[in-house]
Amino acid sequence: MKKSEDRVAIVKAVYDIVLTVPYGRVTSYGAIAKAIGYPNHSRLVGKIMSECDSVNTKIPAHRVVNSQGILSAGNVFMDQQNLLKDEGIIIINNRIKNWKKLFWDPMLEITM
């Protein structure tokens, strides 16, 4: 057994979680990491997002930001900001307005 398979499982879980994020809502890397059972893998989630290939996988990676509601992404941030704005989300200085209200907890879909 290879350890890489564990990472693959995590990647699949992350994909599944992100795909459950509804339109006009956003979540954070840490929340996803926690939801899949790896609370300290928030960084890994970010890495996975960079490899998610949202164009092909149809994964709304633009709805995933850091715990402060800030668009940390580099090459994608312009596109991400545009996409979020298109969903009715207000962005100011790379930061989501009403972040607290727009935040969607993936745990709500898993637990219960």
Partner DNA sequence: GGCGTGACTATGG
Partner DNA sequence: ACCATAGCCACGC
The Cα 53–Cα 67 span in angstroms is 22
Beta strands in the chain (DSSP E): 27-28, 64-65, 91-92, 95-96
Q: Does 56 bind DNA (CB under 7 A)?
A: no
Nearest-approach distance from CB 91 to DNA, in angstroms: 13
Cβ(96)–Cβ(89) below 8 Å: yes
Q: Does 64 bind DNA (CB under 7 A)?
A: yes
The Cα 100–Cα 52 span in angstroms is 25
Q: Does 80 bind DNA (CB under 7 A)?
A: yes
Cβ(80)–Cβ(91) below 8 Å: no
Q: Does 31 bind DNA (CB under 7 A)?
A: yes
Task: Using CB under 7 A, pick the residue from 14, 73, 84, 102 that binds DNA.
Answer: 73
Nearer to DNA, 24 or 97 (CB): 97
Q: Contact residues for DNA (CB under 7 A)?
A: 4, 7, 28-31, 40-47, 49-50, 52, 54, 61-62, 64, 66-68, 72-74, 76, 80, 93, 95
